[in-house]
Each structure stands twice: as structure tokens, then as C-alpha cells.
Amino acid sequence: MADKRELKVQDRPEFVRFLDAISKINESAIVNVQEGSPGLLSCLVSSADNTLILLAELDSVSTNFSGTNNIPDVKKLIRVVDTINSKDINITVNSNNYEYKGNHIKFKYHLYEDGLLSKPTINIEKIKSFKYDISFSITKDILQAIIKGSTFATETNKIYLYTEDGNLKAELTDRARHNTDALCLDLGKVEFNLSPIPLNLDNIKLLSTIGQKIDIGINTEYGVCIFDIQTNTIKLKYIITSLTQ
């Protein structure tokens, strides 16, 4: 009899954060499992309009198999994993379900068969090797301030990143419309020049705030922004395509 396929999670809260970041982009997902101790969970998901792509990785796991797990409802999986009290958990991966048996709870969460879900067509290695000509970092507090500011600038779904007098600015407005309220935040001194690049504000709201710092890279030729956020065990790489002015 073949050995049972096991997914051992050393840090359940980090596993939940990994899943939560994915669930904000898409309700279902294909999670790739890479065998090892540590092993690796990775997932590539995109928004409905493909203007936002997320590559999420979690390495605080040990597995005795490699393959794909097709998760039909990520938020539902989060809810059941959240009922477990222990920090480390051991999940048996059967042919069509996750099975957990603990001292106080057990569950069986069914997976989709291969082929029912599709992943973004972009290549993961292409994402990792993506080049950008401008890079800077912002804090989690700045990101939260931008999101909070969106409650004022309710007439727009755009945020413009640009430089002015040596300062990096984030402006919530819509330059394609007249008489639109605007809120501009100063993000600090920088040593580069950036013409206004408009991004979908809804995509910014979907960024995870698990880390204290967000590293941002911009490819000005193609109008693409990369947002890197990480903890000791989670790496999140968001790729956001710019809008028209």
C-alpha cells in the first residue's frame, strides 16, 4: 500500500494568511505542492479582469508528495482551518479531499478534480524574472492610509503614482473626469522621476498587509507595477497593470 500523502503545516496562522491573500483575488485556486522538508506551497491567481495577478508562496510546510490541489472555495477552507486550536497541523491529502483528525475536531474538505480550474497563462518564471526601472518601498501604514483615503475619494477608482519636486505622490482622483474630488498623499523624498501611472484602486485594496514593508517595482515601458510583501514564511508577489489616464 502506498504511503499516505501528508501535508504538515508548522504554522497554522501563517497558512491561513497565505490562503486569505489568495481568497481576496479569486474564490477558487490551484495550489501547487512541492515535496520536501521544508516543502513549498505556491499558487498563481488573477482577478476577473486580469489586471491583477498574485504569486503566493508558503514554505512553513513539510510534504511527502508533489502535485496540485484544486481548492473550490478558499474562504470555506480558511473557516474550517480556523476551528483548529493547535499551531501545527497534519492534513492527509486524499484523491479528492483534505482530511484532518485532531483531539477535538475532524473534518473532510473536498477538492475539485484536475482540469476543472484554470490558472493564469503567465509563466511563473517570467514573473520572477520581471525587470523594472524604478523601485522603492512603502510601509504598511502608508498602504493603510491610502486605503483609508479611498473613503473620501469616492468618485474615483483610480490611484496615480508620480513624483513632484523630488517627492513621491499617491493621488486618489480621476484625471479623465471634470470636477472630481482629489486626495494626495506625500510618500517621501525619492531620487527618481516618475510620470503619473494610474492603477485600479480596487486592486490596491486587495493587497495583503501581512508584512511591515511593501517593495514596489515599476516597469515604466509596459506600465506594470510589482508589489512584493513577505514574512518569514510567506512571499506574495502582486503584478498590477496600469490603466489609461
* pLDDT per position as a tens digit, 189-226: 999 999 999 999 999 999 998 989 999 999 998 889 99
Determine the pLDDT at residue 126. Answer: 78
- If DSSP codes are grouped into helix, strand and coil, which group holds residue 77? helix
142 pLDDT band, cuts 50/70/90, is very high
**Phi/psi class of residue 53: alpha, beta or left (left: φ > 0; alpha: ψ in -120 to 50)?**
beta
Determine the pLDDT at residue 25. Answer: 95
Determine the pLDDT at residue 123. Answer: 75
2 has pLDDT over 60:
no
Residue with cell 516597469: 219
Express as a percent the part of the chain with pLDDT over 90. Answer: 73
Across the range 123-145, mean pLDDT stands at 87
Length, in residues, of the chain: 245
DSSP assignment letter at 3: P
Determine the pLDDT at residue 105. Answer: 93
Q: pTM of the entire structure?
A: 0.92
Taken in order 143, 145, 150, 156, is the CA torsion positive or negative? negative
12 pLDDT band, cuts 50/70/90, is very high
Residues 73, 92: Cα–Cα separation, whole Å? 18
User: Residue-wise over 106-115: b if at least 16 C-beta within 10 A, else e?
Assistant: ebebebeeee
1 pLDDT band, cuts 50/70/90, is very low
Count of C-beta atoms within a 10 Å radius of residue 135: 12
Across the range 225-244, mean pLDDT stands at 93
- Domains of the chain by start residue, with CATH: 6-126 (3.10.150.10), 130-228 (3.10.150.10)
Taken in order 164, 168, 173, 177, is the CA torsion positive or negative? positive
SS percent in the chain: helix, strand, coil, step 5: 15, 40, 40
Count of C-beta atoms within a 10 Å radius of residue 226: 20
